[in-house]
Structure 1
Amino acid sequence: MARFSIVFAAVGVLLLVAEASTITTTTFEENPYGRGRTESDCYQQMMQEEMLSHCGMYLMTNLGQRMPSSPRMREEDHKQLCCMQLRNVGERCMCPGIKMMLNQPMWRMMDQSMGQVMNMAQNLPMECNLMSQPCQMRDAWY
């Protein structure tokens, strides 16, 4: 009986030593682009979709502006192509992508109408029936 007590005590000590030497690591995912997505992934997607060029042209035509380098396309054509570009960048990159688009130099020069542009831009995924809520554009300027 005494032997069993010593054996159990020794096993207990070994378990305590093993538990004390175990390192537990906790990680927190701070990736705002979702699991498996990073800002550079979204940038890659944006480059493939020409920085949402048709979304930009659609916004410009809504403001009543013509883009000189743009082929003469109707507003509705730009909207359809914009929706296709947004669909191609994927849901996780839509809002970050729109922010990247608005950070292009062309948009920074439009101080007077920037509020209007941001309101229209944040609703693009909803207009395309790709999201149920608008993008949060408060921090669009990096």
Structure 2
Amino acid sequence: MGKISLVAALLLCLLAFANANRFSVTVTEDDIENPQSCQEQMQSHRLNHCRMYVSRSHQYYNDNLSMVTDDDHEINQTQEHLQQCCQELRNMDTQCRCPALKKMVIQDCGSGQCQESTRLFGKARYIPHMCNLQPTRCSF
């Protein structure tokens, strides 16, 4: 009985270790040779469609990220902005996506949308998930 418990404990430890190491980041030679900083990427990729998606979608989505409007034109436009936003994010390095989205919301806050900044951050936080990109959720 003691041997079975020991084997079971070892198997659980192995599973936990394998699961913990499942998500890793690989640095390639290209990353080292071409270290374009996130700041540079944020300047070259202004995330205009992401900005439009966040600013429009907060009017039409409830907290569960499902549409609450019957206006098909608005829904189609919002979805088009999301698709283009996903492409904008794909053009950025993985580690730069969340900082770029955060900067985008902060800039919009400076444009007079501060009253809604919490809601804008909430929408921007889940854009990578909606685009099926990593990281799937930004923590800002």
Instruction: Confirm or deny a common fold (TM above 0.5).
Output: yes
- Say whether 1:99 aligns with 2:109: no
Q: Which residue of 1 aligns with 2:50?
A: 55
Q: Which residue of 2 aligns with 1:128?
A: 131
- Say whether 1:42 aligns with 2:44: no
Shift of 1:128: 0.3
- Residues 122 and 60 of structure 1: CA distance in aligned 2, closer, same or farther (over 3 Å): same
- Residues 92 and 132 of structure 1: CA distance in aligned 2, closer, same or farther (over 3 Å): closer
Q: Whole-Å Cα distance in 2 between the matches of residues 107 and 79 of structure 1?
A: 20
- Residues 45 and 132 of structure 1: CA distance in aligned 2, closer, same or farther (over 3 Å): closer
Tell me the TM-score normalised to structure 1 length.
0.58
- Residues 100 and 111 of structure 1: CA distance in aligned 2, closer, same or farther (over 3 Å): closer
Between the aligned residues of both structures, percent identity stands at 29
Q: Which residue of 1 aligns with 2:77?
A: 74
Report the count of equivalent residues: 95
Q: Whole-Å Cα distance in 2 between the matches of residues 88 and 128 of structure 1?
A: 12
Q: Whole-Å Cα distance in 2 between the matches of residues 118 and 74 of structure 1?
A: 20
Q: Give a deviation string over 1:7-66, Cα, whole Å, max 9, x none.
A: xxxxxxxxxxxxxxxxxxxxxxxxxxx87587x7112112222x211100001111239x
Q: Whole-Å Cα distance in 2 between the matches of residues 100 and 63 of structure 1?
A: 18
Higher normalized helix content (fraction of residues) = 2
Tell me the TM-score normalised to structure 2 length.
0.58
Runs of 4+ in 1 over 4 A off after TM superposition: 34-38
- Say whether 1:110 aligns with 2:113: yes
Q: Whole-Å Cα distance in 2 between the matches of residues 132 and 89 of structure 1?
A: 12
Q: Whole-Å Cα distance in 2 between the matches of residues 44 and 124 of structure 1?
A: 21
Q: Over aligned residue pairs, what C-alpha RMSD do you find?
A: 2.6
Mark the structure with the bigger radius of gyration.
1
